[in-house]
């Protein structure tokens, strides 16, 4: 199991993830990042113009994936 982190950028500001989550594979962490992005986008108070991005980062600090809530991917 490896630890992955999911910092979020919203309106030009970073929200760090100090705790992270354990996953057995990077693909599972990427799926979790996508789920976070979907959850943010489904919030009724969410502003789609905010340019929110969820980043998946591994324990060494390498970026694995970016998920933009505004772009639908």
Distances (CA, A) of 10 to 1, 27, 57, 64: 29, 24, 17, 19
- Is residue 55 within 8 Å of residue 65, measured between CB atoms? yes
Rounded Cα distance, 57 and 46, in Å? 24
Confidence of residue 72 (pLDDT cuts 50, 70, 90): very low
Residues 8-62 have pLDDT tens digits of 998 888 999 999 999 999 999 999 999 999 898 888 888 877 789 999 999 999 9
């Amino acid at each position: 199991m490896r630890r992955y982190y999911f910092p979020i950028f919203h309106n030009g500001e970073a929200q760090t993830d100090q705790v992270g989550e354990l996953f057995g594979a990077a693909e599972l962490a990427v799926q979790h990042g996508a789920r976070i992005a979907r959850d943010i986008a489904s919030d009724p108070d969410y502003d789609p113009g905010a340019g929110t991005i969820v980043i998946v980062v591994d324990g060494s600090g390498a970026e694995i994936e970016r998920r933009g809530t505004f772009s639908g991917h």
